[in-house]
Homo-oligomer: A and B are copies of this chain.
Amino acid sequence: MHETSMSPRAAHSPQVLEESDSRTRILDAAEELFAGGGYAATPTSLIAKLAQVPKGLLFHYFPRKIDVLVALVDERTLVEEAKEVDAVPGDPAGTLSKLARRLPLRASPAMRRILFREADTHGSVRERLGRLNGELIGRARFALELALPGARGDKARLEVAAATFAAVLLYQENLCQLTGHQIDPDAVADLIAHSLA
């Protein structure tokens, strides 16, 4: 409806998904391929082919291959400030469950897989992974503090609980699928809540 009524030049307007700009298509392709086969094993030629751009254009935007990975990490793993944590006082299990459900923050599963795989190869990736992990722990800690207003458990135990929950969340998504072992975040939330009771 919109497309036909606009103009013959509508094909070039940004809202037409099929024709998103080249740079974005390159990053899309790279995200998919890096997540699937790893950075080192993905030739730039394959990225270009999947993105349907000539190989030279890839290097127009990203002078070196590593710049594609860096751009991906810079632009697609933004860890937004935890504006509001949806905590339910007196219900730490439910609070953690809610947190788990909002997890993606702004990094797709593919991006998180990339962060894990390439972390020890490239400094900037490692730093982002650290930030993501830190933010997740911080958010879990904050949520638990709100959910347990009495501050019943000591600080240290809260910290451990937050780190454990973060570990399960990141671990499960990135690796349990590889092994086939599933962990139900809600059950873990429940477990942790019990331990703080």
Q: Is B181 a contact partner of A191 (Cβ separation < 8 A)?
A: no
Q: Which residue in chain B gives the minimum CB-CB distance to A131?
A: B179
Give complex CA distance A163, B191 in Å: 11
Q: Which residue in chain B gives the minimum CB-CB distance to A180?
A: B130
Task: From the candidates B40, B167, B187, name the one contacting A168 in the complex (CB within 8 A).
Answer: B167
Whether, in the assembled complex, A78 has its beta carbon less than 8 Å from a beta carbon of chain B, the answer is no
Q: Which residue in chain B gives the minimum CB-CB distance to A129?
A: B179
Copy total for this chain: 4
Q: Is A119 a contact partner of B175 (Cβ separation < 8 A)?
A: yes
* A residues adjacent to B (C-beta < 8 A): 36-38, 40-41, 113, 116-117, 119-121, 126, 129-130, 133-134, 137, 156-157, 160-161, 163-164, 167-168, 170-172, 175-176, 178-181, 183-184, 187-188, 190-192, 194-196
17 contacts between A and B (CB under 8 A): A37-B120, A37-B121, A38-B38, A41-B121, A116-B116, A129-B175, A130-B178, A130-B180, A133-B175, A157-B191, A163-B183, A164-B188, A167-B176, A167-B183, A168-B168, A171-B171, A194-B196
